[in-house]
């Protein structure tokens, strides 16, 4: 680990390489890191702060809201409450975008985020995550309409995630490689752990909720059967790893190689995961690392969103593994 290089130092160093930089991106990243530190602190004490369990409410997705979901969402909002850089916040937990009105001047960016991914893991002390995506707004002086926010994944300025596990990791890309930082709780700083991370072109792991096997179209089922067949020449069978936390499973694939799937279902062809604050940011990140993100039929980053909370199938990971999965799905 590059123990002497903090996230702040790294970002300022990168900023110095671009004379046209204004420092706005640096400000956003440091506030995201602050939100991550606060959420990590809350998670470490959740059982002592009455933060375990459900609020009794449901979010815009129709999903039960956990107390920590709500707490994490408010933490992100508080981190940007007076931001002169971020003008609009769009969250999985909020039906409508939230415009920052307390800043001295309107910001130029929109921040999409899933404040706490893997809520089913909360009560059992398993990994959790946060996902974020940064988009530049067309104008800083006009009200933001929903149509202004419906941008493709390829238009993201930056994207990344925080992973809350045995250690807290922050992984991000601003379009020039993927960088990983780990939180040192003793000094309260994220320290550089790996620069320009690359995902192997092919792996030996797959991650999917196989309880949904009989809901999948035939091509997806055949692909999973293929992965489990013994064949030494191609490195099969693949090993199965699934945590119930999208961030944790994708992080494993990023570092080890392989494939994560939350595919289309016969009765739900739109899939489950949200395009703009789950599938698109993670696909941006994996593609910056040499991987690939797909619905099985088209690249995630090329999809033109029709709604802020739009769902899509997601197949993501090592480039060759995703291409092979696409072949099975498209020839079904």
CATH fold for the domain made of 2-194: Fructose-1,6-Bisphosphatase; Chain A, domain 1 (3.30.540)
- Measured CA to CA in angstroms, residue 117 lies from 54, 114, 163 at distances of 15, 6, 9
Band (pLDDT 50/70/90 cuts) for residue 326 is: very high
Band (pLDDT 50/70/90 cuts) for residue 66 is: confident
pLDDT of residue 323 exceeding 90: yes
Per-residue pLDDT tens digits for 96-138: 999 988 766 778 999 999 999 998 888 788 999 999 999 999 8
Per-residue pLDDT tens digits for 261-283: 999 999 999 999 999 999 999 99
- Measured CA to CA in angstroms, residue 166 lies from 119, 185, 264 at distances of 17, 12, 32
Cα separation, 287 vs 290, in Å, equals 5
Per-residue pLDDT, 135: 96
Q: What percent of the chain has pLDDT over 70?
A: 91
Per-residue pLDDT, 144: 82
Residues 6+ apart with CB under 8 A from 144: 87, 88, 97, 99, 110, 137
Band (pLDDT 50/70/90 cuts) for residue 2 is: very low
DSSP assignment of 258-298 equals -EEEE---SS-TT-SEEIIIIIHHHHHHHHHTT-EEE-SSS
Per-residue pLDDT tens digits for 187-213: 999 999 999 999 999 999 999 999 999
Residues 6+ apart with CB under 8 A from 182: 1, 167, 168, 169, 170, 190, 191, 193
Average pLDDT over residues 286-294: 98
What's this model's pTM, rounded to 2 decimal places? 0.94
Which residue ranges make up each domain of the chain?
2-194, 205-330
Band (pLDDT 50/70/90 cuts) for residue 259 is: very high
pLDDT of residue 142 exceeding 80: no
CATH number of 205-330: 3.40.190.80
pLDDT of residue 38 exceeding 90: yes
Band (pLDDT 50/70/90 cuts) for residue 319 is: very high
Cα separation, 204 vs 234, in Å, equals 9
Pairing mode of beta strands 273-274, 189-194:
unpaired
Cα separation, 96 vs 67, in Å, equals 20
Longest dimension (CA), the chain: 62
Per-residue pLDDT, 1: 46
Cα separation, 9 vs 6, in Å, equals 5
């Amino acid at each position: 680990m590059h123990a002497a290089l903090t996230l702040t130092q790294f970002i300022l160093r990168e900023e110095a390489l671009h004379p046209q930089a204004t420092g706005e991106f640096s400000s956003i990243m440091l506030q995201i890191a602050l939100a991550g530190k606060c959420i990590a602190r809350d998670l470490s004490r959740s059982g002592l702060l009455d933060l375990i369990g459900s609020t009794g409410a449901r979010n815009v997705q129709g999903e039960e809201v956990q107390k920590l979901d709500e707490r994490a969402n408010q933490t992100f909002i508080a981190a940007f409450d007076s931001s002169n850089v971020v003008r609009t916040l769009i969250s999985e937990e909020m039906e409508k975008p939230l415009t920052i009105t307390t800043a001295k001047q309107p910001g130029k960016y929109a921040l999409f985020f899933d404040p706490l991914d893997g809520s089913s893991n909360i009560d059992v002390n398993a990994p959790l995550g946060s996902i974020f995506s940064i988009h530049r707004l067309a104008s800083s002086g006009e009200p933001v309409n929903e149509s202004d926010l419906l941008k493709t994944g390829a238009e993201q300025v930056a994207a990344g995630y925080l992973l809350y596990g045995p250690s807290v990791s922050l992984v991000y890309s601003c379009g020039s490689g993927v960088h990983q930082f780990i939180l040192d709780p003793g000094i309260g700083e994220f320290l550089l752990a790996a620069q320009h991370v690359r995902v192997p072109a092919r792996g030996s792991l797959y991650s999917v909720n196989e309880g949904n096997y009989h809901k999948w179209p035939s091509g997806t089922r055949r692909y999973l059967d293929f992965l489990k067949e013994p064949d030494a020449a191609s490195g099969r069978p693949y090993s199965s790893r699934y945590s119930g936390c999208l961030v944790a499973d994708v992080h494993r694939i990023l570092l080890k190689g392989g494939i994560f799937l939350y595919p289309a279902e016969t009765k739900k062809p739109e899939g489950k995961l949200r395009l703009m604050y789950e599938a698109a940011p993670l696909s941006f990140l994996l593609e910056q690392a040499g991987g690939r993100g797909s619905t099985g039929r088209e690249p995630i980053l090329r999809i033109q969103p029709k709604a802020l909370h739009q769902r899509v199938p997601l197949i993501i990971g090592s480039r060759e593994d995703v291409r092979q999965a696409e072949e099975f799905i498209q020839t079904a």
